[in-house]
């Protein structure tokens, strides 16, 4: 059974330091490659789906979170305020309030809707120190977030579009949703009032789930304080279930922030906010990928995609030339030469690298590579240029497949 904390250390992906603080991991170069690749994937998928990206600061005045309702309903999970020039500043517990302000900053017409605003941004949670560990319980979170401002008529379709993005991403990442949960409010005072709006939002989420053909279970007591949500659940190898992705329909925050857009009738109308996250937090997504794949990332995400293995010193120069060609194609490639040990030992050390290319005297002379795949298959001896082109195509197509027949 794979533990992402152990794998993260062994593979040199991330670590912590008591002086930085518990629950505040840092990313080492190989981990940073995985994270960057994942973030770029999400941004590209969002751009293709009509989202525009913004950046907003990771802190705001206390009044902002009083307005959003976080101060009343979520304060226990927030960092304490910092005093600054007679004002109280807070590390943000979510990105929604900033995006609502960005929407509000301009006059909005119905022609701009649905307005899909995305950000991969930092947010903070004051997790108790007892529950911190690895990347799954952290105090600084990088969230793949977006808010779609739309009319009530557009909300179910936008939520269904978000579900489609999520299912495409899971296929590309080689991970699986264990179930979809429709999270409804429960008893107790932690939810905002407004039963009619809760019913309306819940009905729209059911419409989105039905339109997507997704089976789901309704569960009480798991909603956000401001509205119901669809939670896409994942299960770790120990059988523990957590939420990775979410889709929410929210009538509450547009009211709190007084959001308006002009309609075709010239009058001012209130938009709905669809909150959605495709891969959840980058930390939790990488933790899950590590455990799901045991460190053998899909080729497009692997920190090193190709290792070139010269049999002897005479082939080292050619090995470096192959790595330069691979790098020029956008691949992440390395040479592991005789100084790193016997050929067998070098192959074993590269067992998580998707592609291994052995370079003996004959291959070096003829521009060939003896190709091995991480799963033990051997596509054979191929011209170097053809092999690199096929790897590059496979990486660009994403997904988990290592090789396709020519
Ligand atoms: Zn939000």
37-91 pLDDT, tens digit each: 999 999 999 999 999 999 999 999 999 999 999 999 889 999 999 999 999 999 9
* Sign, Cα dihedral of 6, 33, 30, 92: negative
Distance 395 CA to ligand 1 centre (A): 32
**DSSP H stretches of helix in 69-151:** 70-73, 96-104
Find, among 368, 351, 352, the residue nearest to 311 by Cα: 368
Choose the weakest-confidence range: 19-28, 183-192, 380-389: 183-192
Strands (E), 251-393: 261-262, 268-269, 272-277, 306-310, 333-335, 355-359, 368-373, 380-383
Q: Please give the pLDDT value at position 133.
A: 73
Distance 317 CA to ligand 1 centre (A): 53
Write the DSSP assignment of 124-146 as a string of letters: E----GGG-BTTTB-SEEEEEEE
- DSSP label of 315: G
How large is the average pLDDT for residues 16-26? Answer: 92
Distance 292 CA to ligand 1 centre (A): 27
Boundaries of every domain in the chain = 4-293, 306-397
Distance 97 CA to ligand 1 centre (A): 8
Q: State pTM to two decimals.
A: 0.94
Distance 250 CA to ligand 1 centre (A): 9
Q: Please give the pLDDT value at position 127.
A: 81
356-379 pLDDT, tens digit each: 999 999 999 999 999 999 999 999
Distance 249 CA to ligand 1 centre (A): 10
CATH 3.30.1490.190 fits domain 306-397 = no
* Sign, Cα dihedral of 390, 395, 398, 401: positive
Percent of the residues in the chain that have a pLDDT greater than 70, as a whole number: 99
Distance 147 CA to ligand 1 centre (A): 6
Q: Please give the pLDDT value at position 137.
A: 85
Provide the b/e sequence for 17-33 (b: ≥16 CB within 10 Å).
eeeeebbebebbebbeb
Say which residue, 96 or 191, is predicted with more confidence.
96
256-307 pLDDT, tens digit each: 999 999 999 999 999 999 999 999 999 999 999 999 999 999 999 999 999 9
Mean pLDDT estimate for the chain: 94
Please tell me the class of the 4-293 domain.
alpha beta
């Amino acid at each position: 059974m794979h533990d992402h904390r152990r794998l993260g250390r062994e593979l040199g992906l991330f670590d912590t330091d008591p002086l930085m603080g518990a629950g505040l991991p840092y990313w080492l170069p190989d981990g940073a490659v995985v994270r960057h690749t994942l973030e770029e994937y999400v941004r590209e998928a969002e751009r293709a789906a009509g989202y525009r990206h913004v950046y907003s600061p990771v802190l705001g005045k206390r009044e902002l979170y009083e307005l959003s309702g976080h101060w009343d309903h979520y304060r226990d999970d927030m960092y304490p305020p910092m005093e600054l020039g007679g004002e109280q500043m807070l590390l943000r517990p979510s990105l929604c309030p900033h995006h609502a302000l960005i929407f509000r900053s301009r006059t909005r017409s119905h022609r701009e809707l649905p307005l899909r605003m995305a950000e991969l941004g930092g947010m903070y949670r004051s997790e108790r120190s007892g529950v911190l560990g690895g990347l799954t319980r952290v105090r600084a979170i990088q969230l793949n977030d977006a808010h779609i401002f739309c009319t009530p008529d557009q909300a179910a379709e936008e939520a269904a579009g978000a579900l489609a993005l999520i299912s495409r991403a899971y296929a590309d990442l080689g991970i699986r949703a264990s179930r979809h949960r429709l999270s409804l409010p429960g008893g107790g005072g932690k939810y905002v009032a407004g039963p009619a709006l809760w019913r309306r939002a819940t009905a729209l989420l059911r419409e989105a789930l039905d339109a997507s053909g997704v089976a789901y279970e309704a569960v009480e007591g798991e909603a956000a304080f401001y509205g119901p949500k669809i939670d896409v659940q994942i299960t770790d190898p120990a059988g523990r279930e957590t939420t990775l992705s979410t889709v929410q329909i929210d009538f509450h925050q547009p009211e709190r922030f007084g959001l308006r857009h002009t309609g075709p009738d010239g009058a001012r109308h209130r938009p709905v906010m669809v909150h959605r996250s495709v891969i959840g937090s980058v930390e939790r997504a990488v933790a899950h990928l590590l455990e799901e794949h045991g460190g053998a990332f899909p080729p497009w995400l692997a920190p090193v995609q190709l290792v070139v293995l010269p049999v002897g010193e005479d082939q080292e120069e050619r090995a470096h030339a192959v790595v330069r060609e691979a790098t020029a194609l956008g691949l992440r490639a390395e040479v592991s030469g005789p100084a790193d040990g016997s050929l067998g030992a070098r192959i074993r050390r590269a067992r998580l690298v998707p592609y291994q290319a052995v370079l003996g005297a004959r291959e070096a002379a003829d521009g060939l590579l003896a190709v091995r795949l991480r799963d033990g298959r051997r596509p054979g001896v191929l011209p170097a240029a053809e092999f690199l082109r096929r790897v590059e195509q496979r990486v660009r197509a994403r997904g988990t497949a290592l090789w396709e027949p020519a």
